[in-house]
């Protein structure tokens, strides 16, 4: 099946009224604001990413990638892909989608590599570039021998970074398999022709997250051990510093406050904040395990989806909690995003529903 975006026409507006209540971490008064719930055909909603302008958002589920409008619902969705991650170009006109199904010229079936009793399966990773304007597939190219775990465009849109790892499996005593991610690699590509432009060396293990600074000068990468975030100089491809931490794993990264800090969501360690200039750890915001984070358009706040359901909004200046949404209000929160126009924030749940709130909400939101 040809990979493309199929545009859907929807009618009607389903706006609900919600009541905003307070809890022990947020003492704002009750307010009422409009909310929209957008049900995706698949679940869970693994990630959300805002278009560079307006109120549109890209939602990623295990079997498709969707374009949502915060005020009108689903406007487009992919067919024929099993996406692992995606990234919008800075112009918003193209979207890169990584799939674990290789292109027809690259597909050769599962590859098993035996090494001392260990079995490694080459699952393949292909990048598909699609137009968000017409829905057409523009090009695709094999970008990794293994599953692609993260994608990121440079701010000028001229380069695309991919992260992947070799997944090694070993038979266990119970007759099953134990998988270990090793040999992480980060590669820079020309997205217009699929030609490799360079590699960032030194990543020792699986990479969960990639983030470019707003200037495009630095690339940050992190994942499952060792216990640091790697910074690379994009021009020279050389290491520009290490941001150390004591957490088991960093799940996602973001530059904030005009590139002054990097924020990382950690496994079991809350939100970690580092100073870019000094490469020092500034603070830890105590939260549950965070599955996703999003920085507000002005760079001063961060929204985090927390393990156990719900989400919280934090100040990056005071590290205070500004708002809380519980699991009963959001579903089991898996992903979060701010729209670029600053009007809405979105929370994607494991039930396949993306819930939209007014960004002006100051406290806990309770749908009626």
Give the residue from 57, 25, 60, 27 showing the smallest Cα distance to 46: 60
Q: What pLDDT, on a 0 to 100 scale, did the predictor assign at position 361?
A: 60
E strands within 224-343? 228-233, 239-244, 250-256, 261-266, 271-275, 280-285, 290-295, 301-306, 311-315, 321-325, 333-338
Q: How many CB atoms lie within 10 A of CB 141?
A: 18
Q: pLDDT value at position 87?
A: 97
pTM of the model: 0.82
User: Which of 179, 204, 174 is closest to 119 using CA atoms?
Assistant: 179
Please give the span between the terminal C-alpha atoms of the chain, in angstroms, as a whole number: 42
Closest CA to 322 of 360, 292, 358, 290: 360
Helix (H, G, I), strand (E, B) or coil at 327: helix
Strands in 94-99's sheet, in edge-to-edge order, are 83-88, 94-99, 125-131, 137-144
What are the tens digits of pLDDT across the range 188-230? Answer: 999 999 999 999 976 667 788 999 999 999 999 988 766 789 9
Residue 38: its H or E element: strand 31-39
Helix (H, G, I), strand (E, B) or coil at 352: coil
Percent over 70 (pLDDT), the chain:
77
For 93-120, write each residue's pLDDT tens digit. Answer: 999 999 975 433 333 333 333 333 333 4
Q: Give alpha helix (H) positions in the chain.
A: 327-330
Give per-residue pLDDT as tens, 130-155: 999 888 889 999 998 778 999 999 99
CATH of the domain spanning 4-367, picked from 3.40.50.300, 3.40.47.10, 3.40.190.10, 2.130.10.10: 2.130.10.10
Rg (C-alpha) for the chain, rounded Å, is 20
The Cα 20–Cα 28 span in angstroms is 9
Q: pLDDT (tens digit, 9 = 90+) per residue, 40-74? A: 998 899 999 999 999 999 999 999 999 999 988 99
Q: Decide if 241 contacts 228 (C-beta within 8 A).
A: no
The DSSP bridge partners found for residue 140 are 128
260 touches 277 (CB < 8 A) = yes
What distance in Å separates the CA atoms of residue 313 and residue 49, rounded to the nearest whole number? 17
Phi and psi (nearest 5°) for 330?
-115, -10
Q: What is the pLDDT of residues 289-338, one digit of tens each?
A: 888 999 999 999 999 998 877 899 999 999 999 998 888 888 789 999 99
Please list, residue by residue across 262-296, b when 16 or more beta carbons sit within 10 angstroms of its beta carbon and e when fewer do: bbbbbbebbbbbbebeebeeeebbebebbbbbbbb
User: Which residues lie closer than 8 Å to 272 by C-beta, 6 or more apart?
Assistant: 245, 247, 250, 263, 264, 265, 266, 281, 284
| 239, pLDDT greater than 70 | yes
Q: Which residue, 164, 248, 161, is CA-closest to 213?
A: 161
Residues in Cβ contact with 114 at an 8 Å cutoff, skipping those fewer than 6 apart: none
CA dist 5 → 143, 195, 200 (Å): 21, 24, 32
What's the pLDDT at 227?
Answer: 77
State the Cα–Cα distance between residues 26 and 222, nearest whole angstrom.
Answer: 31
Domain boundaries, the chain: 4-367
On the 0-12 / 13-18 / 19+ scale of CB atoms within 10 A, 238 is exposed
Strand partners, 130: 95, 137
For 353, residues 6+ apart whose C-beta sits below 8 A from its C-beta are: 37, 38, 39, 40, 45, 331
């Amino acid at each position: 099946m040809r990979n493309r975006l199929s545009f859907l026409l929807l009618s009607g507006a389903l706006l609900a009224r919600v009541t905003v209540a307070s809890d022990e971490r947020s003492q704002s008064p009750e307010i009422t604001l409009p909310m929209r719930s957008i049900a995706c055909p698949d679940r869970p909603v693994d990630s959300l990413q805002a278009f560079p302008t307006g109120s549109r958002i890209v939602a990623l589920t295990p079997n498709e990638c969707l374009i949502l409008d915060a005020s009108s619902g689903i406007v487009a969705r992919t067919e024929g892909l099993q996406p692992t991650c995606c990234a919008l170009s800075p112009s918003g006109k193209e979207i890169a989608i990584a799939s674990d199904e290789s292109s027809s010229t690259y597909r050769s079936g599962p590859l098993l590599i035996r090494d001392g009793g260990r079995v490694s399966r080459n699952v393949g990773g292909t990048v598909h570039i699609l137009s968000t304007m017409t829905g057409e597939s523009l090009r695709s190219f094999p970008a990794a021998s293994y599953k692609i775990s993260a994608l990121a465009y440079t701010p000028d849109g001229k380069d695309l970074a991919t992260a992947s790892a070799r997944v090694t499996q070993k038979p266990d005593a119970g007759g099953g398999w134990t998988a270990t991610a090793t040999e992480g690699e980060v590669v820079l590509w020309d997205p217009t022709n699929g030609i490799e432009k360079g590699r960032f060396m030194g990543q020792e293990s699986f990479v969960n997250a990639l983030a470019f600074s707003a200037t495009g000068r630095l690339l940050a990468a992190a994942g499952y051990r060792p216990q640091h975030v790697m910074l690379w100089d994009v021009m020279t491809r050389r290491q520009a510093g290490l941001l150390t931490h004591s957490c088991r794993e960093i799940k996602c990264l973001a530059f904030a406050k005009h590139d002054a800090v990097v924020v990382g969501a950690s496994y079991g360690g809350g939100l970690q904040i580092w100073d870019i200039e000094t490469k020092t750890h500034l603070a830890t915001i105590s939260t549950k395990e965070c599955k996703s984070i999003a920085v507000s358009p002005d760079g001063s706040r961060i929204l985090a989806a927390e393990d156990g359901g719900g989400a919280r909004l934090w100040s990056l200046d005071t590290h205070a909690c500004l708002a809380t949404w519980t699991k009963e209000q959001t579903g089991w929160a898996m992903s979060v995003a701010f729209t670029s126009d600053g009007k809405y924030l979105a929370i994607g749940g494991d039930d396949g529903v993306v819930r939209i709130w007014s960004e002006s909400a100051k406290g806990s939101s309770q749908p009626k």
